[in-house]
Structure 1
Amino acid sequence: MLDRSKAPDFRIPTSIEFPTPIQRTLPNGVHLYFIPTPEIDAVRLEISSTINERNEVKKLAPYFALEMVTEGTKSKTSKELDDFFDTYAAEVETESGFENHGLSILSTKKHFDTVLPVFRELLTEATFPEKELSKRKKQKALSIHINRDKNSHRASQLFRKALFGEDHPFGQITEEKDVDVINREDLVDFYKKDLWTNSQIFLTGNLDDSQLEDIIRETGNIPVEFFPNPPMSFSNKKQQRLTEEKEKSVQSSIRIGCHLISKSHPDYFKLNLMNTILGGYFGSRLIKNIREDKGHTYGIYSSIGGLKNADYWVVMADVIKEHDEAVIEEVYKEIDKLKNEPVSAHELEVVRNYMVGKLLSQFSSGFELISRFKSIHQAGLDFDFYQQHLEYILKAKPEDIMEVSEKYLSRDKMVEIIVG
């Protein structure tokens, strides 16, 4: 008999079981990756492309092209598309990132055969009506105007500009004038030439063989362009400090950070552990020092930004304005402690348990599985990355944290931003 008066033994898992995605190559050269989920009567299909940075492409053309694919096709108006997807409980979403963009659909298994051909129309038959474009432009211009007055948003913009450079797409700041110059021809040109480049399809759901063949047939003739996509590399420069004063602000938004290494680097897992201890969760050292002990902020966090081949590290905080310099100094003091003082066994064990739990929670559904697979696959890795991460967390040593803190978090290579 099970004794319910006793709690189950506490055990930390030592391995993670992952399904092997089914891979198919479509007639147009696109690779499709499929993780079956028989327990969920839903289907999610995403087509994701690499951004092709042609000089002729206007800054906001990709954004508007993706946002407007549901505003009408050659056979359906915007309203007809909305009514159709609502009727069949289907949801179309866009992805618009630094390195990838794409389109996805989530539908029930029962209605997926019906919605797939209409979703297929969005990929090649969008019309970009002038009236809808005018509305979208006004909305985007207003959003840019509002966000410019938000210290946190502005600080993040300036951080990217300083870190990547204003000539690199990652460092460019969008302004109202970029909205003004967009016209329908820009969207049509981008849609035809650059939207589907180096594309891949990520699929999950309860699908039988015939439905999988239907998907291959519907997406296997999408015109996709393929081009070399060499990995990008970035280097840290001499320390940069940028301050943007706002007299009426009572708070300052702070960003401190630098370029790091790729996920495939041997030090990556050590850096992830170091980041968690410093500012990666609510019990971190930055929270305890700057929020709990000194009361300078409601929240301060550090994180590792996700790029395919070269991640970056950043500390983010909104602080009481008169304490911004003090907060920056406390951040560096905490970094110096990590360099010079071994983390205690107790603190390491607390963070170890937190990180294991967080890692395992990322795979609670088939949709999360395919999302995690996509993120590492596009970085040239596979599911073994997560198993290696778990194994490292379980055997991590205090010396690892001291080593990578000293190696990568040098103050003279940091970008510092203060807005407020």
Structure 2
Amino acid sequence: MSAATIGKASGGTPAAGTSPSVIPPVAATVAAELPTVAERILPGGLRVLVVRRTTVPLVEVRLRIPFTGLGAAHQARGELLAETLFTGTQLRDRVELATVVQSLGGALSTWVDADRLAIVGSALATNLVPLLDLIAEVLTGATYPSGEFTGERDRLVEEATIAHSQPALIAREGLLRRLYGDHPYGSETPAPDVVSQVTEADVRTLHAARVSPVGAVLTLVGDVEPQAALERVEAVLGDWRGTAADAVPPLPALRTGPVVIIDRPGAVQTNIRIGGPAVDRHHPAYAAQRLASTVFGGYFSSRLVSNIREDKGYTYSPRSSLDYPVAGSRFTVTADVATDVTGPALLEIFYELGRMALLPVSDEELDAARQYSVGTLALSTATGVGLASTLSALAGAGIGVEYLHDHPAALAKVTPQDVLEISAQVLAPRRLVTVLVGDAEKIAAEVGAIAEIAPEVIGAPDAATGAASGAASEAAAT
């Protein structure tokens, strides 16, 4: 995934009479007022959402454009499009664009992944119209000048080369490849040799085909009058036209199997990545799944942290997470451990996953995870920045603002039995796949004592190509 930016570059004291070691009881959750969302769909297909938030004189802008495509070439071209979108238009060069953004008291950035191209920004609320004018200028008139493009491509090749030499990225890419094969979700970082072949003509063609309002969502949150903002957006972007992006292809069926080892001779640590399918935000068990992941490894008080960090000291920051791409959700476990404790650490992770799938969580664990989840949602929407990002993500998933009330209510109803049932479906070790990046000669024996290992060890990717060496590279896709 790539990102580019233009524009401007806790603690506390215990109350008197209290002890820092005494944790006060958690107050009852009070539902926040649901934001009022004004909405309009423009003639070209762009969906516009506006929320008035007057706490600061700013407006936050989030534009997400469907951007799915097949193959490594599309991924590399998409990365370069995101990096060079603001390098020039028919009216302004890169410096002039950056100068205009700064004069509006704001910033603009871009990023892309397998689902979407995003433009993220902000400005003084009084400058909404010129900000929209600038965005429209880029959407409809980006030129990708050769001089700017070549420099950005060389930089991205260098960054990708470095990234593909890092064990954390090797492990992440290995897990995605193991889960998704040749699906667009099977890689997040393009190979350097593919990036180096992309031309400005390729990116201009991609822009013409994919930078489209069809299925796109523009979210505005800030000190603006909603109906007036909708009128201003339509005046600026009402004539924007384009064609629909390709639909995201269905995910391949998960094929569980042996542990895959990607060999890094001499490595002093092993990067453990475990993952598998999860239910999406529309599923009745979505709230229970979120709490299951939180109890297992989703925050500092989780079982995984307590076990392999606090109790045994195997790793510093183990965690689990849930991701919600358009085509299907994913549960992931991440831990980086010293080479000599790879087997014991993997055993403990499997143990904690199995315990989640077979035994109910306690009421105390569930309540703590529930309070954490409700609190993080409240914090994430307390600012204009957070609310804009949250609403944009929800809109991309086909979910409305009512989620901000409905989800805390759903969390409040989750029982230990609900967590057990979804854990058996999502967290059970036999429903997950495992990829290890480390010194195969040193870790294979102890890993083999607790799990089947793929018969062929995969060589670490070549930093210049991002491709795993040896015929066994195909094993990761199957």
Instruction: Write the distance in 2 (CA, Å) between the matches of 1:292 and 1:11.
Output: 28
CA shift for structure 1 position 260: 1.4
Tell me the alpha carbon deviations over residues 47-77 of structure 1, each in whole angstroms, 9 at most, x when there is no partner: 2111142669633112211221211111111
Whichever residue aligns with residue 69 of structure 2, its letter is E
Show the counterpart of 1:146.
162
1:267 positional shift: 1.4
Return 182-191 or 332-341, whichever deviates more: 332-341
Matched, 1:204 2:216: no
Q: Is the 8 A contact 1:261 1:309 kept in 2?
A: no
Structure 1 distance, partners of 2:412, 2:369, is 11
2:42 is matched with which residue?
26
Secondary structure (helix, strand or coil) at the match of 1:106 reads: strand
Kindly state the Cα deviation for residue 115 of structure 1 after the two structures are TM-superposed: 3.5
Change (3 A) 1:244 1:250: same
Provide the rounded CA distance (Å) in 1 between the counterparts of 2:432 and 2:70.
30
Mapped contact 2:40–2:230 kept (Cα < 8 A) = no
Choose the corresponding residue for 2:336, options 301, 318, 323.
318
Work out whether 1:168 is the aligned partner of 2:186.
no
**SS in structure 1 of the partner of residue 272 of structure 2:** strand
Provide the C-alpha distance between the structure 2 equivalents of 1:324 and 1:9, rounded to a whole number of angstroms.
39
Superposed CA deviations along residues 312-334 of structure 1, whole A, max 9, x for unmatched, are: 10100111112122211111111
Report SS of the residue matched to 1:295: coil
User: 1:413, 1:343 → 2: CA distance?
Assistant: 20
Q: Determine if contact 2:75/2:114 at 8 Å carries over to the other structure.
A: no
Q: What letter corresponds to residue 296 of structure 2 in structure 1?
A: L
In the TM superposition, residue 190 of structure 1 has moved relative to its aligned partner by 0.7
Q: Say whether residues 1:281 and 2:296 are aligned partners.
A: no
Q: Does the Cα contact within 8 Å between 2:57 and 2:125 map onto a contact in 1?
A: yes
Does structure 1 retain, via aligned residues, the 8 Å contact 2:62–2:388? no
Classify 1:239/1:387 alpha carbon distance in 2 versus 1 (closer, same or farther; 3 Å). Answer: farther
CA contact (8 A) 2:73 2:194 kept: no
Q: Which runs of 5+ in 1 are unaligned?
A: none
Residue 356 of structure 2 is aligned to residue 341 of structure 1: no
Q: Aligned to 2:429, which of 411, 416, 419?
A: 411
Which stretch shifts more, 392-401 or 93-102?
392-401
Give the distance between the partners of 1:220 and 1:6, measured in 2 at CA.
61
8 Å CA contact retained: 1:62, 1:195: no
| Aligned-pair CA distance for 1:193 | 1.2
- After TM superposition, the structure 1 stretch with the greater mean CA deviation from structure 2, 319-328 or 95-104, is 95-104
- From 291, 312, 318, the equivalent of 2:309 is 291
Secondary structure of the 1:226 match is coil
2:143 is the alignment partner of 1:127: yes
Q: Note the alpha carbon deviations across 1:246-304, whole angstroms, 9 max, x for none.
A: 12321111101111121111111111111100000011111111011111101100011
Could you say what secondary structure the match of 1:297 adopts? coil
AA partner of residue 410 (structure 1): A
Which residue in 1 is equivalent to 2:33? 17
Q: Deviations over 1:117-156 (max 9, x none)?
A: 2332111111111111111111111111111221111100
- Residues 280 and 303, structure 1, Cα contact 8 Å, conserved in 2: yes
For structure 2, which runs of at least 5 residues remain unmatched after alignment?
1-14, 19-23, 439-478
For 1:233 and 1:244, the matched residues in 2 are separated by: 24
Q: Which residue of 2 aligns with 1:82?
A: 98
**Which is further off, 54-63 or 323-332?**
54-63
Task: Indicate yes or no: 2:244 matched with 1:226.
Answer: yes
1:218 Cα deviation (Å)? 0.7
Query: Do 1:35 and 1:366's aligned partners in 2 also have CA atoms closer than 8 Å?
Result: no
Tell me what 2:447 maps to: none
- Tell me if the contact between 2:353 and 2:428 (Cα under 8 Å) persists in the aligned partners: no
State the alpha-carbon separation in 1 of the partners of residues 326 and 307 from structure 2.
33
**Deviation for aligned residue 1:105:** 3.1
Question: In structure 2, what is the equivalent of residue 60 of structure 1?
Answer: 76
Deviations 1:318-368 (A, max 9, x none): 111121222111111112222333322322232222222222212102332
Q: CA deviation at 1:410?
A: 3.2
Equivalent position of 1:402 in the other structure: 420
Equivalent residues of 1:239, 1:413 under 8 A apart: no
Q: 1:384 to 1:277 in 2, by over 3 A?
A: same
Name the CA distance, whole Å, in 1 between partners of 2:68 and 2:215: 9
2: distance between equivalents of 1:333 and 1:179? Answer: 41
Query: TM-score if structure 2 supplies the norm length?
Result: 0.81
Q: 1:326 to 1:390 in 2, by over 3 A?
A: same
- Name the CA shift for 1:44/1:339 in 2 (closer, same or farther; >3 Å): closer
> Structure 2 CA distance, aligned partners of 1:358 and 1:115?
31
How far does residue 32 in structure 1 lie from its aligned partner after superposition? 0.8
Q: Note the 1:233-312 alignment, pairs <5 A.
A: 233-312=251-330
**Offset, 1:416:** 0.7
C-alpha spacing 1:113/1:379, structure 2 compared with 1 (3 Å):
closer
- Structure 1, residues 354-406: CA drift from partner, whole Å, max 9, x if none? 22222221210233223212212221222333433212322322222222222
Deviation of 1:168 (Å)? 0.9
Contact 2:278 2:329 in 1 (8 A): yes
Distance 2:357 2:45 in 1: 49
Aligned residue in 1 for 2:411? 393
Q: How many equivalent pairs are there?
A: 416
- Deviations along 1:160-201, one digit per CA (max 9) or x if unpaired, are 111111x11110352111112100110110111112242221
- 1:185 partner SS: helix
Counterpart selection for 1:108 from 124, 145, 167: 124
Distance 1:58 1:309, change over 3 A: closer
Structure 1 residue 95 corresponds to structure 2 residue 95:
no
Give the direction of change, closer, same or farther, for the CA distance of 1:120–1:339 in structure 2 (3 Å limit). Answer: closer
Aligned residue type for 2:217: Q
Distance (whole Å) between structure 2 residues aligned to residue 403 and residue 190 of structure 1: 44
**Given the alignment of the two structures, is residue 213 of structure 1 paired with residue 231 of structure 2, yes or no?**
yes
